């Protein structure tokens, strides 16, 4: 049995698709592409598909991951292209590797998020970020299925900063995951690196923390995009590629035979 790991995106309006919506769309794409899926045993067999740390509904993402088990070998790049063609625009399969190392979920130690705060001046956002980072702990509340839960939103934050934006005159319909903003429009853009902890600290929790520490009010909901997730380099605070170990464990291509030398 071969296993393939895929990286896919949620862009545009499809950021509002739920995890189950994508699961159904992926299963239809697998059938259309005639992918030889391996199935579970039992009375109700289902395709062996494993998802890893999906982004919340409403958040765009450039780094979602899923693993497929196949009953027959396929080239990862060809499989990626087939599925990408079968999925709607916005759910784009952008990378694929053959599974060669275990414990993939454990590698997803942190995420990089971009937060677009329309209607907020960068100076006000910078002051709120400074107050948030200066606090030892920032208690926020979140509604869960078991009621309201309080937890610290500061401890999981590795880095938080205002990033420089690019002003584009007359720009409209700007995409997610972009630092471009329209001329004359107040918009602060934050870059957040957060550890995957328990309980999970989400971008919305950090925004609640900015409101708690600096009374930062958002006139409209923030645009949230996950840019990356993977292993955390503690020294630099950067998130690295979780596919790197699988690529590194791939067998080397055979070298071309040396041409015979004339006597």
Residues 6+ apart with CB under 8 A from 176: 11, 12, 15, 60, 114, 116, 223, 225
Q: How many CB atoms lie within 10 A of CB 156?
A: 20
Q: What is the mean pLDDT of residues 69-86?
A: 96
Please give the pLDDT value at position 215. Answer: 95
59 or 171, higher pLDDT: 59
Q: What is the mean pLDDT of residues 204-233?
A: 95
Tell me how far apart the terminal alpha carbons of the chain are, to the nearest angstrom. Answer: 49
Measured between alpha carbons, how far is 262 from 240 in angstroms, rounded to an integer? 49
| Confidence bin at 171 (pLDDT 50/70/90) | very low
Give the pLDDT confidence of 125-169 residue by residue, as tens digits.
999 999 999 999 999 998 877 888 899 999 999 999 999 876 654
Q: Are 141 and 148 within 8 A, CB to CB? A: yes
Residues 6+ apart with CB under 8 A from 211: 217
Give the pLDDT confidence of 230-263 residue by residue, as tens digits.
999 999 999 999 999 999 998 865 554 445 555 4
Q: What is the mean pLDDT of residues 24-46?
A: 91
Tokens, residue 140: 């926020």
Tokens, residue 16: 């509002």
Indicate if the pLDDT at residue 211 is higher than 80: yes
Indicate if the pLDDT at residue 224 is higher than 50: yes
Q: What is the mean pLDDT of residues 224-232?
A: 97
State the Cα angle at 136 between 130 and 142, rounded to 5°. 90
Q: What is the mean pLDDT of residues 188-197?
A: 96
Question: What is the chain's Cα-based Rg?
Answer: 22
Indicate if the pLDDT at residue 187 is higher than 70: yes
For 30, phi then psi, to 5°, come to: -65, -40
Measured between alpha carbons, how far is 147 from 238 in angstroms, rounded to an integer? 34
């Amino acid at each position: 049995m071969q296993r393939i790991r895929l990286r896919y995106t949620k862009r545009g309006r499809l950021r509002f698709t739920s995890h189950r919506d994508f699961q159904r769309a992926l299963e239809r794409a697998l059938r259309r592409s005639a992918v030889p899926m391996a199935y579970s045993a039992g009375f109700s067999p289902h395709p062996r598909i494993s998802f890893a740390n999906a982004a919340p509904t409403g958040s765009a993402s450039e780094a979602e991951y899923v693993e497929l088990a196949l009953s027959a070998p396929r080239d990862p790049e060809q499989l990626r292209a087939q599925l990408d063609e079968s999925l709607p625009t916005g759910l784009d399969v952008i990378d694929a590797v053959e599974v060669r190392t275990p414990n993939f979920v454990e590698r997803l130690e942190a995420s990089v998020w971009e937060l677009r705060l329309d209607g907020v001046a960068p100076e006000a956002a910078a002051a709120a970020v400074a107050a948030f980072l200066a606090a030892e702990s920032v208690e926020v509340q979140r509604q869960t299925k078991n009621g309201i839960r309080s937890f610290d939103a500061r401890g999981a934050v590795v880095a938080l900063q205002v990033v420089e934006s690019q002003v584009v005159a007359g720009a409209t319909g700007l995409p997610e995951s972009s630092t471009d903003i329209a001329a004359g429009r107040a918009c602060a853009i934050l870059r957040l690196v957060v550890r995957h902890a328990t309980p999970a600290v989400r971008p919305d929790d950090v925004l609640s923390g900015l409101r708690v520490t600096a009374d930062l009010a958002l006139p409209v909901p923030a645009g949230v995009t996950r840019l990356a997730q993977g292993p955390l380099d503690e020294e630099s605070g950067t998130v690295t590629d979780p596919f790197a170990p699988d690529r590194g464990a791939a067998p080397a291509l055979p070298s071309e035979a040396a041409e015979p030398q004339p006597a």
